[in-house]
Amino acid sequence: MRCVSYTRTTSCKSSESIPTDIIQQQNEQIQKYIQSHGWKLVTKYSDRKRDDNENTAFEEMTVDGISRKFDMVVVNSIDRCGKYISCAEDVLAKTFFPAGIHFSVVQDDFCSIEKSREEIDEYFRKEKIAVQIKSMRELAVREQIEGYYNVHDEKYGYILSEDRKELLVEEEAATIVREVFQMLLDGVSVKKIADIMNERGVESPMVHNARVGHKHWPHYENKWSEGSLRRILDCTAYDGYWKKTINGKLCTIPITPILEKGVFDKAKEIVKSRSTTKNRKGGKLGPYVHKIFDEETGRPLYLRNFQSGESVFVLNSKINELPKSKRIHIEVDVVTRAVKEAIQSEMDMAERMTRYLETEAMQKLLQKEQQQYSEKAWMIFQEMEQVEKNRIPIYEKFKNNEITEPEYLDKKEEIQSQLQMYEMDFEGLMERFAEMKKAFSNENEWIKTFQRVELPEDLKFEHVKKWVNKIIVSNFKEVHVYLTMQKWRDYFPEEWLEE
């Protein structure tokens, strides 16, 4: 087979410094790849200039390929095959491949021989998505460094300015924020504040932000909760600063305060004092504290050790004698036995899944999941392309004086906001994709947590905390144990777990 190689100095993916020996590196990798397949290298094409628009050798290779001067093109990486991924696709996949000229990409170990048209299209689709994601992330980081905010930076009480350079106080919500802090300083409990807001019909933070903010929120129930109030009480922005990670570095950013000086710190002290139990008894925590509950009432069960030597769980923490009725207590040994059995069973499953990780069935499952993520990413990518296409006619209208400059700037800002939202959707999808890949590896948190060990005779608090999420006791007879890290276990098919 007559092979040619193509190398290039610049890359459509990387904006970082280019090694001085980049062409040599590519040639060495390509040569090894060709030798390993027993092919013959007849010509080298190389665009060596440090110019993103340089394309002389690539065009020469295209002409020679159309003239059938070779049978195979070998490149080291697809991002160094022409100016853009789309250029590589047009030549390799849409021009050469239909004519019977194949191509190989060394870094991806991808060869078009015996590949279907659908497989080749999927390969280029993934590569274009990767380039788009990198470009978007670089834009987001660049904008952060330059001091731009996005819609996800908006907080309750603040709204994004038109130029996206600052967060402005949004007075409607700011008034509520000041009132919340004042009520807390006046001695009102967090729960009571939530009740007051709900009775008055005040918009909850989520509902309010969906109405006045720039981000498209899903539908939320208009209800204040203790959780939403505690997030407000913890938000340092109201005191004049907030923390944000910019280009991997945690930065403290000044912001217009909503509260008067000292109010935030006073509220913080009040919240801290209320969360401290003054008359807490000393001693070690029991192994099941805050973990075991009665199914019927939902109330926690309490461990009681009696002089008779018996240890039981009861609903009444002040009981001094062992209840005569079995219907209102359950022995600790019964609970411990159920907990140990549940943990042992989970360890068995984790061990089984560890063996599954290298099987063909697991690889097929991983490929299926990757395909689903790829399709979702492609949908977002197509929507972004459509938004980008809308930019051109708007600019042309502006240049032709069909719309005014303010109208053009408004439209441009709208497009930028849309692209920013798609970027965040991409980032979220990629985070979930990374989590999925982790789930199908030895780094799966469930597998790591339930690696087989010998259970101690007496379970301690730290053991229960590691393995047990909660314990539900039904009618003081049946014990239901709910274990930790189930989110990571749920990635595996149920039928595999039950084998």
Same domain, 317 and 462: yes
CATH (domain of 244): 3.90.1750.20
Q: What b/e readout covers 26-57, taking b as 16+ CB neighbours within 10 angstroms?
A: bbebbeebbeeeebebeeebbbeeeeeeebeb
Same domain, 270 and 327: no
> Please, what is the end-to-end C-alpha distance for the chain in angstroms?
49
Same domain, 264 and 303: no
**Separation of alpha carbons 205 and 128, rounded Å:** 38
The tally of domains found in the chain comes to 3
- Give me the long-range contacts of 370-374 (CB less than 8 A, separation at least 24): 370/433, 370/436, 373/429, 373/432, 373/433, 373/436, 374/122, 374/125, 374/126, 374/129
pLDDT at 267: 92
- Nearest Cα neighbor of 428 from 208, 210, 152 is 152
**Separation of alpha carbons 411 and 398, rounded Å:** 10
- 404 lies in a domain? no
Same domain, 246 and 189: yes
**Stretch 382-394: mean pLDDT, rounded?**
80
- 266 lies in a domain? yes
Same domain, 61 and 26: yes
What is the rounded average pLDDT for all residues in the chain?
A: 86
Q: Is the predicted pLDDT of residue 221 greater than 80, yes or no?
A: no
- 482 lies in a domain? yes
pLDDT at 165: 85
Same domain, 350 and 207: no
**Separation of alpha carbons 26 and 21, rounded Å:** 9
Neighbours of 396 (CB within 10 A): 11
Minimum mean pLDDT among 28-32, 245-249, 469-473: which range? 245-249
Same domain, 479 and 332: yes
Same domain, 317 and 186: no
- 149 lies in a domain? no
Helices within 82-156 (DSSP H only):
85-88, 117-145
**Stretch 117-123: mean pLDDT, rounded?**
91
- Nearest Cα neighbor of 349 from 469, 464, 454, 447 is 447
Predicted confidence band at 281 (pLDDT cuts at 50, 70, 90)?
very low
Same domain, 492 and 348: yes
* Position with higher pLDDT, 133 vs 75: 75
* Position with higher pLDDT, 361 vs 6: 6
DSSP 201: T
**Separation of alpha carbons 428 and 417, rounded Å:** 17
CATH (domain of 7): 3.40.50.1390
Neighbours of 24 (CB within 10 A): 11
Burial of residue 373 (number of CB atoms within 10 Å: 0-12, 13-18, 19+): middle
- 308 lies in a domain? yes
pLDDT at 199: 92
Its domain, for residue 261, covers 158-274
CA angle 126, 129, 134 (to 5 degrees): 130
**Stretch 289-306: mean pLDDT, rounded?**
87
Q: What b/e readout covers 93-110, taking b as 16+ CB neighbours within 10 angstroms?
A: beebbeeebbbbbbeeee
One-letter identity of residue 146: E
- 242 lies in a domain? yes
- 403 lies in a domain? no
Q: What confidence tens digit (pLDDT) does each residue in 239-274 have?
A: 999 887 776 678 888 999 999 999 999 999 998 887
Residue 313: phi, psi to the nearest 5? Answer: -105, 135
Predicted confidence band at 329 (pLDDT cuts at 50, 70, 90)?
confident
pLDDT at 376: 84
pLDDT at 284: 47
Final residue of a structural domain among 116, 143, 166: 116
Same domain, 233 and 301: no
pLDDT at 345: 93
Final residue of a structural domain among 116, 134, 168: 116
To 10 degrees, the CA torsion angle through 133, 137, 143, 144?
A: 150
Q: How many CA atoms lie within 13 A of 116 on its CB side?
A: 3
Q: What confidence tens digit (pLDDT) does each residue in 135-173 have?
A: 666 666 666 677 788 777 888 999 988 888 888 999 999
- Nearest Cα neighbor of 31 from 104, 110, 91, 92 is 104
- 172 lies in a domain? yes
* Positive or negative: CA dihedral 196, 201, 207, 210: negative
**Stretch 101-113: mean pLDDT, rounded?**
94
Q: What b/e readout covers 242-264, taking b as 16+ CB neighbours within 10 angstroms?
A: beeeeeeeeeeeebebbbeeebb
Cβ–Cβ under 8 Å, residues 74 and 107: no
pLDDT at 280: 38
Q: What b/e readout covers 193-230, taking b as 16+ CB neighbours within 10 angstroms?
A: bbeebeeeebbbbbbbbbeebbbeeeeeeeebbeebbe
* Furthest C-alpha separation in the chain: 97
pLDDT at 18: 85
